[in-house]
Structure 1
């Protein structure tokens, strides 16, 4: 007779794909499963929590990707007063809504510490940055279901006679991302490829017009663009995106949204002093004078790709030469 804590072998009557992280339960009392929750979070890292950033959530043996929304409030540990906040700092305790990338088998922490308690892990550093307790699943998590369709992304791509791709141009403001992406798109169109270019400034006129330039807003900006790019790739298109996208974590998040090999990170490598000297839009001048806050490269960080799929140096190449180099690297596109 096995008892809690022992390792056991279970033989199933049917062939079922069951692996680490899956949960076995009695049929008459199954645990809940959802992908959106309210939770209490204790923040344990020196760096403040970044709203919208993707972290690993580990609950028991389950590991999923999770994003945390702006906390509803933090708790004053001395008075238990609820205080308004925008994020969680070191040792802060707050209540927030979280969303996972796939359903999580859980029980409220009040009912089960094993299926209700979790830790948060930074995807880049692998540091444990927080711990938390699940309260309940959000109602909307139970009422929204994926609708299967008969025309698949493979059919869409086949009709266009091409392989879907997301060509993700990243670099400092003034590096030449938009110019080079435009040149690449013109060349692809001459090759009868079906494309669409998403430009950072253009998207902020519509889809992302409500976002500013704080770290949290930049993260949400890239998350939305990633979702749109994924939908366009599902339609069989070759999508070009020209965004500063300053953080490695968010670029990696978009890569993981797509099938392996469909995300192509293109680093438009331009030294800060060169980009600032160009200053076509006058943004660096505003940033240096203090008029423009949270400007990448000045008072907001840019994390260059460590191993980009394609790198172009705009000091050594003209935009046309850079575009030609990128298209050659992409061949064959089918």
Structure 2
């Protein structure tokens, strides 16, 4: 990245990757973090699964708990951004009302909503944990895309369909759209 690009990175931003389970959010987030760190950008990865294993372990998957999970994540992003840290967040983020809340907490100028628009059938094929199969068998309640709704973002900053793209290509598309 050029010196001019580096100047743009001095202020903390939140790059929020959203999409179905198995869409590639976490994998793309890791690649983005590596690329940002290669430019000496201070960044932090925030993953929905990791947050639920610790800070948000008291939350379930009801609509109210999902919203609270996302609200807490947005508050953390806002704090980190304030200190000049770019956050790459990977969360399913299924509802438009929650996306609006995220933007209002973090601030529209610092929030980049990236929809990882991988088709459901591809997500199911990638599902190494067998979550989709369990949801289809009724063993998991409130599973986004099967028994809980996923509202496709109407106006994200960027939409990426991962079919036919490798992780590096997805990360480069995001960086080029935000920083160039």
Same fold by TM-score, threshold 0.5 exceeded?
yes
- Among 240, 262, 265, the residue aligned to 2:113: 265
How many correspondences in the alignment?
172
Q: Which runs of 4+ in 1 moved over 3 A?
A: none
Q: For 1:274 and 1:185, locate their aligned partners in 2 and report how far apart those are by CA, in whole Å.
A: 24
Aligned position for 1:317: 165
Q: Is the 8 A contact 2:74 2:106 kept in 1?
A: no
- Among 222, 225, 240, the residue aligned to 2:88: 240
Gaps of 5+ in 2: 1-8
Does structure 1 residue 213 correspond to structure 2 residue 61? Answer: yes
Q: For 1:196 and 1:329, locate their aligned partners in 2 and report how far apart those are by CA, in whole Å.
A: 20
SS of match in other structure, 1:196: strand
Deviations 1:289-330 (A, max 9, x none): 111111000000001111110111111311111011111112
Deviations 1:198-237 (A, max 9, x none): 0011001111000111111111111111111111111111
Structure 1 window deviating more from structure 2 (176-185 vs 271-280): it is 271-280
How high is the TM-score relative to the length of structure 2? 0.92
Aligned position for 1:299: 147
Q: Is the 8 A contact 2:13 2:81 kept in 1?
A: yes
> Which has more helix, going by share of residues?
2
Aligned position for 2:44: 196
Larger Rg: 1
- Among 18, 21, 24, the residue aligned to 1:173: 21
User: Could you tell me how far 1:331 is from its partner in structure 2?
Assistant: 1.3
Aligned position for 2:104: 256
- Among 74, 92, 106, the residue aligned to 1:226: 74
RMSD: 1.1
User: Could you tell me how far 1:260 is from its partner in structure 2?
Assistant: 3.4
Gaps of 5+ in 1: 1-160
Does structure 1 residue 287 correspond to structure 2 residue 163? Answer: no
Q: For 2:72 and 2:30, locate their aligned partners in 1 and report how far apart those are by CA, in whole Å.
A: 21
